[in-house]
Structure 1
Amino acid sequence: MRSFSAVEFGDLASVEMLLERDPVLVRKTTVFDRHSALHIAAANGRIEIISMLLDRSVNPDLLNRHKQTPLMFAAMHGNISCVRKLIQAGANILMFDSIHGRTCLHYAACYGHPECLQVILFAAYTSHVAVSWGFSRFVNIRDGKGATPLHLAAHQRQPECVHILLDKGALVCASTGGYGFPGSTPLHLAARGGSLDCTRELLAWGADRLQKDASGRIPYTVALKHKHGACAALLNPSSAEPLVWPSPLKFIGELNQEAKAMLERALMEANREREKNILKGTAYSLPSPSHSEDAMDDNVSEISDTNLCCICFDQACTIEVQDCGHQMCAQCTLALCCHNKPNPTTASLAAPVCPFCRSSIAQLVVAKVKTENDTGHAISSSKLRRSRKSRTFSEGSSSFKGLSAVGSFGRIGDPGSGRIAVENEWVDKA
């Protein structure tokens, strides 16, 4: 039909002309798949046409033959402006299709569109969904085969989506029903796909390397079966445990974005050191960095002694403890807070105290430390040059090497958008 072709190619003038002649066209659908003009516009990112159709009171939740909504199509193709527009128009994020029993959140996670994922999650958090369903329940919503959005993101090798979902409360050890292999966790699916980045994210958020699927296989066995040697090395139960993000701690859950990003980077760096030791001498050794830290050395001065962390004497103080105001580096902050492996008792783990004054930690913020460069201009502590001293983190212990001698620490407890043909069938990637 001419109107659908005009929508597909974004010919707004032709669409408007055709609708002026025959307003009933807004309710027409394609013959087989029952795609409406709104479905086709959403799939192809035609935001002007979507706006025009919605202004004509077109229902944003129109269903095609498989009960898929325009919002699902927009999320599937990563058309972020269309996702925003449809949600603003009242599109229901809790609609399920009839093919896989999936929502728009499943589609955004499966097809790897982190921005769409963020918009949908924000909509859920700020709407009636959080009240009627509960936000955590929405994040962990299951499709017809028991797969959560996290399962789909891990299976499809989408580490950014994996990180966002874990950050929003996705259950890292949830088992599937019939999706993938019965009883698979996100870690099983990441191992099956051989995604090192997804594996890293899942392990850093507490995924259990020993959890078995319905056939009694652990993720290590799955990685070996599919010949993903690097993943298998990290998942080997005999290799060192990774550091795990201390999400049960209240002040960690209340971190501002800057402090959180800084600590997350430090966590991943610590686990990268662990990986290098595990993979050293194997065919899967990690590549060297593509650029040297010396690139930033020319314009940045040495870290002054007054700015050095008084625990490790190696890194600049970047994190401040409130309310006492004591400062330490991000790595030592992690040594204070992190545990090494999933442990049911960590949910009620007593919060650590400041290692300097033993007072309770109310909040962690970015330290406002400044130094002077050669030109006399002040620069923030986040741009301080890293020490040339090599940093090696301990294996199998929640503290870093060199921290065990610090009395105040002691031993820390375990704690794409693409055009679609009008009559095409949708093929699931998963």
Structure 2
Amino acid sequence: MGQGLSCAASQDHRFFSAVHFGDLETVNAMLERDPSLLYQTTYDRQYPLHIAAANGQIEILSMLLERSVDPDMVNRQKQTPLMLAAMHGKISCVKKLVEAGANMLKFDSLNGRTCLHFAAYYGHSDCLQAILSAVQSSPVAVSWGYSRFVNIRDGRGATPLHLAARQRRPECVHILLDNGALVCSSTGGYGSPGTTPLHLAARGGSLDCIRELLAWGADRMQRDASGRIPYVVALKYRNGTCAALLNPSSAEPLVWPSPLKFISELNQEAKALLECALMEANREREKNILKGTGYSLPSPSHSDDGTDDNISEASDTELCCICFEQVCTIEVEDCGHQMCAHCTLALCCHNKPNPTTACLTPPVCPFCRSTIARLVVAKMKDCNDADQDIGDGGSPKLRKSRRSLNFSEGSSSFKGLSATFGKMGGRGSGRIAAENEWVDKP
């Protein structure tokens, strides 16, 4: 009898080893002889499907699913194969399990976490994005609601955003915020104070995570259960550079204007341009804050690369007529007027909510005063076309000055807008806004 048990154990070990290393031929042969191996488990109750998912063996995983194996079988910690695939960053297995109908709302028994928590915690941004994309077209979005799923809490009240911030995962932080994660969500329940993602980023010392959270409106004055603001947390864990940026007395950052409808409907290319402009403007603010503090940014600012400092005269006719420093990259779709991404972003960020209706009024084009309903990437004009439109007006610089004069005459508030937008500081000028020049969050 003992010998029989030993032979069975040896056979199981050989089978699980073949699954682990992706030996499809051996796995198929052994299953043909003994189909019950599909439901054998290891000492910690890992099924073959768990082992295939955790090790990225997509061929074996696909073969097991074709044999009608339940994609939601759980191990000792109530973890599903989808959780393990997300934990280990096996994107092909994540997609295959989702296609097979794996339940994305399963919670494990260890920390009460879902596959979304695991992808965020371990920093697998591709798995995170795949799960979020799948949820949008799944019954989960209908039964639970997409926003509720993005902000799903684990057993300790932490959302995936909390975990990504704590583990220094800026890419995951960005994806979650872009998909509706609540930037100021607290781990405390029923209105009691708790830890926010900004507190956890301050504790972990991740500047990139702090930048993302602040750019999406994180509150530097929000207190945790101990009454501490993120600035105090950063000081406690000796993250001096983070503390300097989180200091309540330092200038407020520019915040992504997410409440505006046309901002949420931007195509990816236009959105990327505006997001880049926002981060560059905030980096200029950071350099101003850190000047004289003894701290410095660990990575070079994108605004220092010098790629746009020298713009040839051939492109002068395409310069933004508000700042005269950046090339026009954004266009108002209805009227066709163009601006650079920095000035477009400033126009949106400076828009204030109506206190009586608590809603945001769409900004208007600074040139023709028409309401902005949609922004697109600007179409670059050929220099020859620009010359024909202007006629024999002389040098490109003279043509540029004539365009600015015409625009300023056509809009009574143009001068005020130009002065306001100048506070952002462009890549070309290198100008850094003073602390009292920065506006409050929208």
Shorter-chain TM range is 0.7 to 0.9
The one-character-per-residue Cα deviations of 1:219-268 (angstroms, maximum 9, x if unpaired) are: 00000000000000000000000000000001101100000000000000
Q: Is residue 2:285 matched to residue 1:274?
A: yes
- Distance across 2 between alignment mates of 1:123 and 1:288: 36
Q: Is residue 2:143 matched to residue 1:103?
A: no
Q: Which residue of 2 aligns with 1:428?
A: none
Q: Is residue 2:217 matched to residue 1:206?
A: yes
- Distance across 2 between alignment mates of 1:49 and 1:398: 57
State the 1:306 CA deviation: 1.6
- Distance across 1 between alignment mates of 2:173 and 2:355: 22
State the 1:288 CA deviation: 4.2
- Distance across 2 between alignment mates of 1:292 and 1:142: 40
- Contact persistence 1:60–1:89 (CA under 8 A): yes
Q: Which residue of 2 aligns with 1:24?
A: 36
Is the helix fraction higher in 1 or 2? 2
- Secondary structure at the residue paired with 1:320? strand
Within 5 A, what are the aligned runs for 1:188-337? Answer: 188-286=199-297, 287-288=299-300, 293=305, 301-302=312-313, 304-337=315-348
Q: Which residue of 2 aligns with 1:389?
A: 429
1:72 corresponds, among 71, 83, 88, to 83
State the 1:341 CA deviation: 11
Task: Pick 1 or 2: higher relative contact order, CA cutoff 8 A, min separation 6.
Answer: 1
Amino acid at match of 1:392: I
- Distance across 2 between alignment mates of 1:210 and 1:344: 22
The one-character-per-residue Cα deviations of 1:118-161 (angstroms, maximum 9, x if unpaired) are: 01001111111111110000000001110000000000000000
State the 1:322 CA deviation: 2.1
- Secondary structure at the residue paired with 2:238? coil
- Contact persistence 1:172–1:205 (CA under 8 A): yes
1:83 corresponds, among 94, 99, 103, to 94
1:43 corresponds, among 54, 72, 78, to 54
- Contact persistence 2:121–2:164 (CA under 8 A): yes
The one-character-per-residue Cα deviations of 1:84-123 (angstroms, maximum 9, x if unpaired) are: 0000011011111111111000000000000000010011
- Distance across 2 between alignment mates of 1:147 and 1:187: 13
The one-character-per-residue Cα deviations of 1:28-85 (angstroms, maximum 9, x if unpaired) are: 1112x21000001111111111011011111111111111000000000000000000
Q: Which residue of 2 aligns with 1:419?
A: none
State the 1:395 CA deviation: 3.7
2:45 corresponds, among 34, 37, 45, to 34
- Distance across 2 between alignment mates of 1:40 and 1:341: 53
Q: Which residue of 1 aligns with 2:390?
A: none
Amino acid at match of 1:74: A
Count of residue pairs brought into register by the alignment: 386
2:176 corresponds, among 155, 165, 188, to 165
State the 1:13 CA deviation: 1.2
Q: Which residue of 2 aligns with 1:122?
A: 133
C-alpha root-mean-square deviation of aligned residues, in Å?
Answer: 2.6
- Distance across 2 between alignment mates of 1:112 and 1:339: 34
State the 1:391 CA deviation: 3.9
- Contact persistence 2:280–2:302 (CA under 8 A): no
Distance 1:307 1:94, change over 3 A: same
Gaps of 5+ in 2: 1-12, 385-425
Distance 1:18 1:247, change over 3 A: same
- Contact persistence 1:243–1:339 (CA under 8 A): no
- Secondary structure at the residue paired with 1:365? strand
- Contact persistence 1:208–1:341 (CA under 8 A): no
Q: Is residue 2:16 matched to residue 1:4?
A: yes
- Secondary structure at the residue paired with 2:345? helix
Q: Which residue of 1 aligns with 2:25?
A: 13
- Distance across 1 between alignment mates of 2:103 and 2:258: 30
- Contact persistence 1:45–1:79 (CA under 8 A): yes
Normalising by the residue count of structure 2, what TM-score does the alignment of the two structures yield?
A: 0.82
Within 5 A, what are the aligned runs for 1:320-399? Answer: 320-339=331-350, 348-371=359-382, 388-398=428-438
State the 1:189 CA deviation: 0.4
Distance 1:3 1:210, change over 3 A: same
The one-character-per-residue Cα deviations of 1:280-302 (angstroms, maximum 9, x if unpaired) are: 2333212545997467899x844
Amino acid at match of 1:88: E
State the 1:359 CA deviation: 0.8
- Distance across 2 between alignment mates of 1:260 and 1:139: 21
The one-character-per-residue Cα deviations of 1:349-394 (angstroms, maximum 9, x if unpaired) are: 2221111111111101110014569xxxxxxxxxxxx975334345
Amino acid at match of 1:262: L
Over alpha carbons, which structure has the higher Rg?
2
The one-character-per-residue Cα deviations of 1:398-426 (angstroms, maximum 9, x if unpaired) are: 57xxxxxxxxxxxxx852xxxxxxxxxxx
- Distance across 1 between alignment mates of 2:441 and 2:168: 30
Distance 1:355 1:295, change over 3 A: closer
Amino acid at match of 2:257: P
Distance 1:70 1:157, change over 3 A: same
- Distance across 2 between alignment mates of 1:40 and 1:71: 11
Gaps of 5+ in 1: 374-385, 400-412, 416-430
- Contact persistence 1:248–1:347 (CA under 8 A): no
Q: Which residue of 2 aligns with 1:55?
A: 66
- Distance across 1 between alignment mates of 2:378 and 2:302: 29
- Contact persistence 1:175–1:185 (CA under 8 A): yes
- Secondary structure at the residue paired with 1:78? coil
Distance 1:23 1:334, change over 3 A: same
Normalising by the residue count of structure 1, what TM-score does the alignment of the two structures yield?
A: 0.84
Q: What percent of counterpart residues are identical?
A: 74
State the 1:344 CA deviation: 9.3
The one-character-per-residue Cα deviations of 1:177-214 (angstroms, maximum 9, x if unpaired) are: 39xx9700000000010000000000000000000001
Q: Which residue of 2 aligns with 1:381?
A: none
